[in-house]
A = this chain, B = another copy of it.
Amino acid sequence: MAPKDDLKKGSAELMVLAVIEDAPRHGYDIARSIDDRSGGVLRFHVASLYPMLYRLERRGWITGRWVEKAGQRRRRYYRLTPEGRRMLRQQRNEWHALFDALTRVAGLEPR
C-alpha cells in the first residue's frame, strides 16, 4: 500500500545474522532468502548487502570464505562467529525491547 519500504535501522543486520544462523550462505542467497521469507514486505536491496557483509566481517561477527566450484562462478560463503552468535541473541532481545516499548508508548497492538 504505502510505497514506503524503508528498512528500519539495524533490521537488515538482524536478518542477515539470522539467516546464516544454521548454515553458511553466500551473499546473493542471503538476499534471496530474506526476500522470500518476508513475503516481499521487506525489499532488501542487493546494493546494501555487500557493504553490510564487509561491515559485519570487519566487526568479527561473521567470516567469509571463497568457494570455487566447476560450473559456477566463485561465491563467498559467510558463517557466524561465536561473537556473531552472541550479537544475534542480543539483537533479538533489543528488537523485543523495542517492540514492547513501542506497544506501550505508541499503542502498537501486540498481536
Contact = CB atoms under 8 A, between A and B. Distances in A.
Interface of A: 1-2, 4, 6-11, 14-15, 17-19, 21, 33-34, 37-39, 41-42, 90, 92-102, 104-111
A2 to B, nearest CB: 5
A37 B106 CA distance: 9
Contacts of A109: 96
A14 B106 contact: yes
A95 B92 CA distance: 16
A108 B94 contact: no
A99 B98 CA distance: 10
Contacts of A17: 106
Contact of A15 (B38, B94, B102, B110): B102
B8 A11 contact: yes
24 contacts: A1-B93, A2-B90, A2-B93, A2-B94, A7-B9, A8-B9, A11-B98, A11-B102, A15-B102, A18-B105, A34-B105, A37-B104, A38-B104, A38-B105, A41-B101, A42-B98, A42-B105, A92-B106, A92-B107, A92-B108, A95-B102, A96-B109, A99-B99, A110-B111
